[in-house]
Amino acid sequence: MVFRGMVKRVILISLIFSSAILNAEPKYFGAVFGDSLAYTVGAFNRKNSISACLTRKTGLSFGNFGVNGATTHDALEFLKWILAANPKIVLISLGGNDVIGYLNDVKNRKTSSRFNESATHQNLTKIYEQLKTYGMTAIHLGISPPRVPENKLSMMRDGRLERIRETALKSGALFMDNFMTDLWLNKSLMRDDRHPNDNGAKIQCERILEYLKVNKLL
């Protein structure tokens, strides 16, 4: 009886929380969520971060919810930040750190890895579907790193990051293909082998802006 009472209480709290989110006034029009690319760690001038740039160019508020090194496992924990902010649009950059985690586990000869491809796609599906449940439009920012020795992400040569596109679309999310196109190997646009600099971030901002306009999200 005590256990049943506890279960009912948890369900009731969850329903109250869900109702509060659905009826809450949005703190932001959009949110940039995920890893260091979402945070725009390569931009020295924070005015050039993706969230700040989109806010400036649209006149609408975009929050920065990027965390350096974040994996899809981390993002599931951080998702409550997004739900509380209740934005209309969520731009997502995730998956790259899962690949790096997997490669490190392989290098260390671990028999299994929590960063295997199946876990990544399961986590992303949960994120996409929960955002959809709360009426938010999820847009995954695809990165498709070049397959060259100079880029660690390229060591995953079986198209793992590219397959996120299919997972996103199946889950009702959108997928933007050109987020990192032609930036990877351009030293004038990159701070290091994975992160665009201020100039690269400006290009990303313009691309996102165009994507939002084409898809009638602005």
State the angle between helix axes of 72-85 and 117-133 in degrees (0 to 180), rounded to the nearest 10: 10
- Is the pLDDT at 25 greater than 80? The verdict is no
The whole-number pLDDT of residue 153 equals 55
Do residues 139 and 175 touch, judged by C-beta distance below 8 A? Answer: yes
Average pLDDT estimate for 73-83: 96
Q: Calculate what percentage of the chain has a pLDDT beyond 90.
A: 69
Ramachandran quadrant class, 216 (left: phi over 0; alpha: psi -120 to 50; beta: rest)? left
The whole-number pLDDT of residue 152 equals 57
Of 16-30, 41-55, 96-110, 169-183, where does mean pLDDT reach its minimum? 16-30
Do residues 142 and 165 touch, judged by C-beta distance below 8 A? Answer: yes
Distances (CA, A) of 196 to 8, 141, 189: 48, 14, 6
Check residue 51 and report its DSSP letter: H
User: What's this model's pTM, rounded to 2 decimal places?
Assistant: 0.85
pLDDT digits over 173-189, tens only? 999 999 999 998 899 99
The whole-number pLDDT of residue 161 equals 83
Where in the chain are the domains?
A: 27-214
- Is the pLDDT at 100 greater than 90? The verdict is no
Which are the contacts of 168, defined by CB distance < 8 A and separation ≥ 6? 124, 128, 138, 140, 174, 175
Three-class HEC string of 69-132: CCCHHHHHHHHHHHHHHCCCEEEEECCHHHHHHHHHHHHCCCCCCCCCHHHHHHHHHHHHHHHH
Q: In which band, very low, low, confident or very high, does the pLDDT at 94 lie, cut at 50, 70 and 90?
A: very high
Chain centroid to CA 183: how far?
18
Task: Indicate if the alpha-carbon torsion angle 191, 194, 198, 202 is positive or negative.
Answer: positive
Report the helix count and the strand count for the chain, using DSSP H and E. Answer: 8, 5
Question: What are 81's two structure tokens?
Answer: 């930040």
Q: How far apart are CA 38 and CA 46, in angstroms?
A: 12
- Is the pLDDT at 24 greater than 90? The verdict is no
Decide which of 3.40.50.1110, 3.40.50.300, 3.30.43.10, 3.40.630.40 is the CATH code for 27-214: 3.40.50.1110
Q: How far apart are CA 125 and CA 136, in angstroms?
A: 14
Q: In which band, very low, low, confident or very high, does the pLDDT at 106 lie, cut at 50, 70 and 90?
A: confident
